[in-house]
Amino acid sequence: MKNIVLIGMPGTGKSTVGVILAKRLGYDFIDVDILITQREKRTLPQLIEDEGIDGFLKLEGQAGLSIECDRTVIATGGSMIFSDDAMRHLKADAITIWLETPLHKLVERYKRNSRQDRGVAAPGDMTIKEIYELRKPLYKKYSDITIHCRKQSEYVVQQIRGAIEKLS
């Protein structure tokens, strides 16, 4: 069975949904952000500060290229879509799902947990709307399925499972 790759903005629920989905499918789970922090022994905000955005994106792309797995749900970092090589590698044997969350919901979530706490790879003067608009065409480009995240994680998982079954 193919892997499932989750893409989308930071704060959209890729990790939360990914864990639940993996459990429901009997799959393994990889969170690329955790993979990077374990390898580099620094938090995402520390990495962005130390390496700069371009350096961080390079590390993220390398992490994506290093993943070799089967029957695994992979929650990518929100900026993984900037690494064409990594995305092509991840998509080679996967269904890629864009967890699309309305901008107003993302703004609410960022108010609770600041961008700096999350480690969003974008210039500090960019608004969430600007980051979203920059990334949206790439999320569309790489996704096989778009799931509109308007409800709780369990509902999103049900939507994903239904969409995957239609592809089978």
Residue by residue, DSSP assigns 67-109 as ---SSEEEE--TTGGG-HHHHHHHHTTEEEEEEE--HHHHHHH
User: For position 10, what pLDDT does the model report?
Assistant: 87
What topology does CATH give the domain 3-156?
A: Rossmann fold (3.40.50)
Percent of the chain with pLDDT over 90: 61
Predicted model pTM? 0.92
For residue 18, name the pLDDT band (cuts at 50, 70, 90). Answer: very high
CA gap 60, 155 in Å, rounded = 29
Q: Has residue 142 got a pLDDT over 80? A: yes
Mean pLDDT of all residues belonging to the chain: 89
As beta bridge partners, residue 75 has 6, 31
- Select the more confidently predicted residue: 103 or 58: 58
pLDDT tens per residue across span 69-122: 999 999 999 999 999 999 999 999 899 999 998 888 888 766 655 445 556 777
pLDDT of the residue at 88:
96
- What is the average per-residue pLDDT within 35-50? 92
Confidence (pLDDT) at 167: 77
